Amino acid sequence: MHLGLIGYGSIAHSLIGMLPADRVPRVTVLVRPASLDKAKHDAPPTGSGPAVQVVSTLEGLLAARTGVVVECAGHAAVARFGADILRRGIPFIPASLGALADADLHENMLQAARTGGARLTIPAGAIGGLDLLQALALNGPPRVTYRGIKPPAAWKGSPADAIVDLDALATRTVFFSGTGREAASAYPKNANVVAAIALSGGGFDHMKVELVADPEARANSHSYEVISPICTYTIEIANSPNPANPRTSMTTVASLLLEILRHDPQEPL
């Protein structure tokens, strides 16, 4: 299978390192023109995994005729490229799910998927149990409450910087409480798991969200409670941060890998 990637940061590098070269022998990566030379330099040498080609235009990515495209470049990349890729009939897997908190963008991408006959896949990312949530949502919107707990360093560069002193934090602190839509929009690099839950049935405007900085946390922790007429359940997961980017859990990378392999026409999971 030929994989397309948008972005060449820590998620993309980690993902390429996990790809089984016998199933994904080729990868084409789309980067900004200003990053092209560096990306080519950073590409793994021939023979050390999948062959990596780097391009700087959407046309170059489309010309590569990839079987599926994964976005690892942020909300703006989802908005800029997602619909065009889907209209071309290419399955699209966005890591930056928080972009879909924009209701107009979400609907535009669903329409593009229908037009192109392609699938917009919602990866689980750093959380689990979404298949059960999807099933329960068929009986009506369940009540969902989510809490995300990460070390202070994982919230650096986010609006939390202006709310609490992350460097001096001594106790666990809730710095955000609101709806799923508010969380996904305000914390795009840290709250994509909120979007995964919302898109699986929690609903952006109905689910409750708390975001927490904990100086004693040694991992990224996600928990959510679901209450529906059919059943009630709670899931809690502690993830190891990505060494290259503490805002991202390695389970996010593993989740993307799983969805890629599910799209393998020769050997789907």
Q: Read off the pLDDT of residues 196-208 as tens digits, 9 standing for 90 and up.
A: 999 999 899 999 9
Can you give the pLDDT at residue 264? 86
Catalytic residue among 13, 75, 106, 222: 222
Can you give the pLDDT at residue 122? 95
Tell whether 191 is in a known binding site: no
Low-confidence stretches of the chain (pLDDT beneath 70): 241, 246-248, 268-269
Question: Which strands sit side by side in the sheet containing 143-150, from one edge to the other?
Answer: 173-179, 208-213, 143-150, 220-227, 232-239
Domains and CATH numbers, the chain: 2-121 (3.40.50.720), 130-248 (3.30.360.10)
- Confidence (pTM): 0.90
pLDDT tens digit string along 231-253?
999 999 988 767 777 666 789 99
Tell whether 190 is in a known binding site: no
Residue 2 is a catalytic residue:
no
pLDDT tens digit string along 131-140?
999 999 999 9
